[in-house]
Amino acid sequence: MGTIITFKRPDGQDASGYLANAARGNAPGVVVIQEWWGLSEQIKGLTDRFALAGFDALAPDLYNGKVVPYHDTDAANKEMSSLDFIDATTQTVRGAVAYLARNGAKVGLTGFCLGGAVTVIGACKIPELSAAVVFYGIPPEQAAKPSEVRVPLQGHFANRDDWCTPQVVDAFEKGLKEAGKTAELFRYEADHAFVNEQRAAVHDREAAELAWSRATAFFGKHLG
């Protein structure tokens, strides 16, 4: 459905990503951020799904063409550890936001796992955003504090998650509430990466569909 495009970062460098356009013109935009595996076929599929839901959707490639197979967690961890999260967010992701906003559309940001952490950073550091939806990823506070969130934020988290743990989620929610931010966080009796239908060991269809309906409704409210 979609296609690979090139767009400009604020610093003038080229970046690439997977773009899927909504059927109607002048649609709001959603930037979709990958898991630690890279710009996988599953993430492209989610990008297509956002387009079918009425959003122009763009998934920037933060690994510059590298995609790690699901069984190789060591390689995925190496790629994630070598990623400059601030540069990726304030340059590549912000460039993707600007691309979708070029005709005046409102743009939201969403991401999964690694992409969830990038989404929180973006909610703090990308002024052109209008909303953010986070899936099971929160960055360290030195990268983005809850008090710095600029836009309405929705979060989806797994109670059985040893990466983005319930304790981390509780602290993040507490910080958002204390700062008076517009935010709603949902928790699911599921595992980390429960939205990923290509990973049968962790996928939870019921939780994934509920989270999807909440996310698209949230974006419809804030971007429409």
Please state the CATH superfamily assignment of the domain spanning residues 3-223 in this structure: Alpha/Beta hydrolase fold, catalytic domain (3.40.50.1820)
Structural domain spans, the chain: 3-223
pTM for the full predicted model: 0.98
3-class SS letters over 138-191: CCCCCCCCHHHCCCCEEEEEEEECCCCCHHHHHHHHHHHHHCCCCEEEEEEEEE
Cβ-count burial of 30 within 10 angstroms (0-12 exposed, 13-18 middle, 19+ buried)? buried
Q: How many CA atoms lie within 13 A of 5 on its CB side?
A: 19
Could you state, in chain order, the average pLDDT of each consecutive group of 10 residues for the chain (224 residues)?
97 99 96 99 99 99 98 97 98 99 97 99 99 99 97 99 98 98 98 98 98 99 96
27 close to 54: Cβ distance less than 8 angstroms: yes
Q: Give me the pLDDT at residue 224, please.
A: 87
Q: Give me the pLDDT at residue 1, please.
A: 84
